[in-house]
Amino acid sequence: MVQRGTNEQSKNYSYYGGRGIIVCQRWVESFEAFLTDMGPRPSPKHSIDRFPDKNGNYEPGNCRWATQAEQSRNTRRNVNVTFDGRTMCLTDWAKELGVSGSCLRYRIRYWSLSDALTTKRLYEHH
């Protein structure tokens, strides 16, 4: 986290520090401060995630310990859809409806949003 946010030689710097995402100075200066703010990692399957603002800084209030599944739903590439007061990524909507992601993307492109997100699995495509 510190390297990709501060070290221009880090292979991932362009995706973090290069985009203006910083690590709070308290955490850069002290791992103990980071540990005090975040607590210990819950399991080896958890890593640091910027949440709720995926484009925000690494700082208290915008970081959590998350599993890979949680992190994959919190990326810039993800498409979130809000319908009937609920916001979820396409993957979660598709899972709830019992259709594939490609089927749901097709529906959203060619059907009304309401029909796309309320029609349970009738057939896989179109």
Tell me the DSSP string of 58-78: BSTTSEEEE-HHHHHTSSTT-
Residues 35 and 56 in one domain: yes
Residues 10 and 60 in one domain: yes
Residues 52 and 105 in one domain: no
CA–CA distance, 122 with 104 (Å, rounded to integer): 12
The strand pairing partners of 66, in sequence order, are 47
User: For residue 122, what pLDDT is reported?
Assistant: 65
Residues 55 and 7 in one domain: yes
Residues 67 and 16 in one domain: yes
Of 67, 48, 68, which Cα lies nearest the Cα of 59?
48
Q: Is the pLDDT of residue 84 over 80?
A: yes
Whether residue 124 lies inside any domain: the answer is no
Q: 41: which 2 tokens? A: 């990692």
Which domain range does residue 65 map to?
A: 2-72
Whether residue 55 lies inside any domain: the answer is yes
pTM, two decimals, is 0.66
User: For residue 75, what pLDDT is reported?
Assistant: 75
Whether residue 125 lies inside any domain: the answer is no
Whether residue 91 lies inside any domain: the answer is yes
User: For residue 119, what pLDDT is reported?
Assistant: 87
Residues 67 and 93 in one domain: no
Q: Is the pLDDT of residue 32 over 70?
A: yes
Q: Is the pLDDT of residue 123 over 70?
A: no
Residues 43 and 86 in one domain: no
CA–CA distance, 81 with 78 (Å, rounded to integer): 10
Of the chain, the percentage scoring pLDDT greater than 70 comes to 95
Residues 86 and 48 in one domain: no
CA–CA distance, 99 with 122 (Å, rounded to integer): 9
Number of domains composing the chain: 2
Residues 12 and 46 in one domain: yes
Q: Is the pLDDT of residue 124 over 90?
A: no
Q: Is 87 helix (H, G, I), strand (E, B) or coil?
A: strand
